[in-house]
Structure 1
């Protein structure tokens, strides 16, 4: 016999929302989690608002049912993805999902700490409606959790003359402002907000770390597999010109506004199609779409803002999986085994002076063959080198660093996205086996998730800070351990 649905209501500044109670899993303080889904934080970005900064949602009357996920900026069937991230049709794509164990108003200073999650997807895909992003087990451990949507692709990040740049970044900030204004009504503390994300979401939170105008919207950062996009103004304008030419419209607000969403997405996909053969081009030239160094909201490269001390007061946890992008070369494995190693290293951009030292520092993947070696090089150049540069730029700012090294039961190495279900402690979620195998270790999820909760609560994840003297890195594996110079295998690539 099924249990009756138990609803719960919360009064926000915009109006009353109705959510429902759900069960948590595992052992913790709270056996139940209240989920409020698809709460709009801005008006639908359509019509005259399509290429504009987000406009705060007008209050509503009555009670808004927040029982289903809201519309997503991702359109259509995304196909097979590493993380299940469904598309949901509709116009109101700027919304948040709130998961809380205590849906009652918290007085100042008494609320629970808050985690705000920004999804990945290369800035052109992804969805906050993934079952893997359900905050129920953070709720179990007394952390209020929010997942946020934002405009993707050209609508969110394309250069449009006559319109504000970085609309996707403005969406992140609008969602965070909504949290500041409303999260106390859900039992959260707006004075203890940790922003986190993975892949493009990790790049998003690092971008926000370097944005002066965003500093009052959050207090800590947890960056997972976080490349720093920093699309140049020149590159953004060049891509916009190509889009306009292909679409046959003027390269400005009027021209792009005249194009349907469907047609724009079709051309965007054609001009920014990513495949393994383009990886080296991406490493050299960067992404076509993503946060743009526009001279105003993002006045300089993120690394330069960090060097100037922006975000230095924020505690940061940052890391990557050992072999993020090895899968990108899977279809080329049979061909790569015949490529001489010096040629492979040259083609993948390893400087000549660094090649001997790099091979010596990565003996395990060298022995595994060129496919694994090429994937490790891509991983290091795209994720770990920028990460180490960002860490160095923070100097003595409080920073903790990790590697996720547990090898997937499916792939035999720690690939992109593998650590996400461990972070959320959702190994019982759907579509787990294709990424992690049939028996991912719950003990590792318990350990990693506990450290994340501890960081969100206290600002310290429980292992030594990363300082220049010993560069201790937490290596997540079975067993996990703290390793001095834990990224030594990458050092030959760091200038």
Structure 2
């Protein structure tokens, strides 16, 4: 089947399981050469039917993820979208679910197997995912060029959806933007970005990171990377360095952060790239902006895992902390009050320091910030729903990323067994069905199936096996220890 886009006609693969996948459609021009470090530019048009049966090249990065393509120097046409359209899409007017991948703003792509949109499309959605610039190309500070280029790419992809999705049976007036981890952070940023206004109606954000950079810190990161790459930290010097040189230099700087952090938190979690609060593309921290009612007209669904940081510990993405002095160092780096550490010690009296450390780090980096986004949005007049991923089975923990194969309905995807802790059983498949249905219902109607937050209460849905449960109000316990802890953009350590 041929679909007509504003750039030209495209043809996807055949209809499989009632869904047609159209992959690797350019939504913007290749962001290299004269367009490098600039805002995304329109994609060149074509006249002949374009074969779109394979994912496009991914953005510059060093990651090699299970079942996903790798980036190779010379791959340039990295700004593409993928669409999964169900058979009934010919009738038109279907809700649109727009997915943003995670990866610490540094790696990842829309081609990861657990992001396949077939199951969600069978549930009645037109599903869209996209590649965008990550790492230095997308989030590195370059004097004289816009910050947050990865976010600008996402806005360009959303504009493509507005202009083209009707051709695939989707309703451009009913778009839900969704993402996990740094993709969830991107969703929160898009909610408060002036350039993204009116491009979507609802938002789904899983495991939203709490970290953002000031321009000062982003410039300090650039200085470190430029020094390792052997170029001046100015536009001319950075433009002279090929993408692979900046990828390699960023990897080296991240590896050095344990002993010489650029910002205090980098000694524990060396993620060099974050959205930059530049006052223009991203005017303010999303938490503060949502509290001010900036996106009160956007319905919001957030979720985080109960033991987020255990995944990061298992894959070696965070520093090992096993002693009380090291835990005190973390508290200093995050500016956490002494009573918070005391409270976790009292709540987990028999737990090793490592367990308390990971509980605190997971809450600081994902859990508390994600929950507050929903609370602040609700208090400002927006509609918000909150969920937690609490599924345990044998040794499988409810950790960072484990929820995504469930919500996508991709429990059998390549690499999913590691994320979910083994081969799925019947209870897992039932949970996956429930989570996928909640996404589909929220995208269609704004109601995922449980109560929204109010100004006085924080109801939370806990996804679990063999059955879920609902807590009427979730503002006590360990959460109460975070009440006086603030979140704000990071600044240089020195």
Same fold? TM cut 0.5: yes
Secondary structure of residue in 2 paired with 1:194? strand
Query: What's the secondary structure of 1:115's corresponding residue?
Result: strand
The structure 2 residue matched to 1:457, chosen from 444, 451, 458, is 444
Q: What per-residue deviation string (whole Å, max 9, x for no partner) do you get for residues 202-239 of structure 1? A: 00001111112211111100001111432111001111
1:44/1:105 CA distance change after superposition, 3 Å? farther
Pair 179,165 (structure 1): closer, same or farther in 2 beyond 3 Å: same
SS at match of 2:340: helix
Match of 1:404 among 389, 393, 404: 389
Q: TM-score, normalised by structure 1?
A: 0.88
Are the equivalent residues in 1 in contact too, given 2:344–2:356 (CA < 8 A)? Answer: no
Q: Which residue of 1 is the match for residue 362 of structure 2?
A: 379
Change in CA separation of 1:274 and 1:71 when aligned onto 2, cut-off 3 Å: farther
User: Is 2:310 aligned against 1:326?
Assistant: yes
Residue 26 of structure 2 corresponds to: 40
Contact 1:385 1:494 in 2 (8 A): no
1:10 match: 3
Alpha-carbon deviations, 1:266-309, whole Å to 9, x = none? 11111123888879723899943121111211122222221221
The 5-angstrom pairing of residues 98-117 of structure 1 reads 98-102=83-87, 110-117=92-99
Q: What is the aligned counterpart of 1:481 among 452, 466, 469?
A: 469
- Between 1:151-160 and 1:436-445, the stretch displaced more is 436-445
| The one of 271, 293, 298 aligned to 1:309 | 293
CA shift, 1:67, in A, is 0.6
For 2:450 and 2:25, how far apart are their aligned partners in 1? 36
Once the two structures are TM-superposed, the CA of residue 103 in structure 1 deviates from its matched residue by 8.1
Over aligned residue pairs, what C-alpha RMSD do you find? Answer: 2.5
8 Å CA contact 2:166, 2:172 repeated in 1: yes
Q: How many correspondences in the alignment? A: 467
The residue that corresponds to 1:418 in the other structure is 402
Flag the 1:346–1:75 CA change in 2: closer, same or farther, 3 A.
Answer: closer
* Corresponding residue of 1:27: none
SS at match of 1:434: helix
Return 345-354 or 230-239, whichever deviates more: 345-354
Question: Partner of 2:225 in structure 1?
Answer: 243
Q: Is the contact between residue 96 and residue 128 of structure 2 (CA under 8 Å) also seen in structure 1?
A: yes
The residue that corresponds to 1:439 in the other structure is 424
Is 2:453 the partner of 1:471?
A: no
CA deviation after TM superposition for structure 1 residue 390, in Å:
2.3
Contact kept? 1:87, 1:127, Cα under 8 Å: no
Decide which moves more: 215-224 or 161-170. 161-170
Unaligned runs of 5+ in 1: 1-7, 25-31
Distance 1:367 1:167 in 2: 46
Could you tell me whether the CA contact under 8 Å between 1:283 and 1:381 is conserved in 2? Answer: no
Structure 1 segment 170-319 matched on structure 2, within 5 A:
170-273=152-255, 281-282=265-266, 287-319=271-303
8 Å CA contact 1:84, 1:132 repeated in 2: no
Q: 1:96 aligned to 71, 77, 81, which one?
A: 81
Name the structure 1 match of 2:372.
389
SS of match in other structure, 1:10: strand
Task: Say whether 1:19 aligns with 2:22.
Answer: no
The yes-or-no answer on 1:161 pairing with 2:154 is no
Runs of 4+ in structure 1 off by over 4 angstroms are 103-106, 274-280, 283-287, 330-333
Unaligned runs of 5+ in 2: 485-494
Q: Which residue number in structure 1 is paired with residue 483 of structure 2?
A: 494
Worse-superposed segment, 283-292 or 218-227: 283-292
| Residues 293 and 301, structure 1, Cα contact 8 Å, conserved in 2 | yes
How far off is 1:466 after superposition? 1.6
1:53-80: CA deviations, max 9, x gaps?
Answer: 100112101011101110000445x24x
For residue 20 of structure 2, give the secondary structure of its aligned residue in structure 1.
strand
Does the Cα contact within 8 Å between 1:408 and 1:435 map onto a contact in 2? no
Q: Secondary structure at the match of 1:68?
A: coil
The structure whose RCO (Cα within 8 Å, separation 6+) is larger is 2
Q: TM-score, normalised by structure 2?
A: 0.88
Gap change, CA 1:418 and 1:408, over 3 Å in 2: farther
Match among 131, 154, 173 for residue 113 of structure 2: 131
Kept in 2, the 8 Å contact 1:74–1:152? The answer is yes
1:35 match: secondary structure: strand
The separation in 1 between residues aligned to 2:170 and 2:42, in whole angstroms, is 21
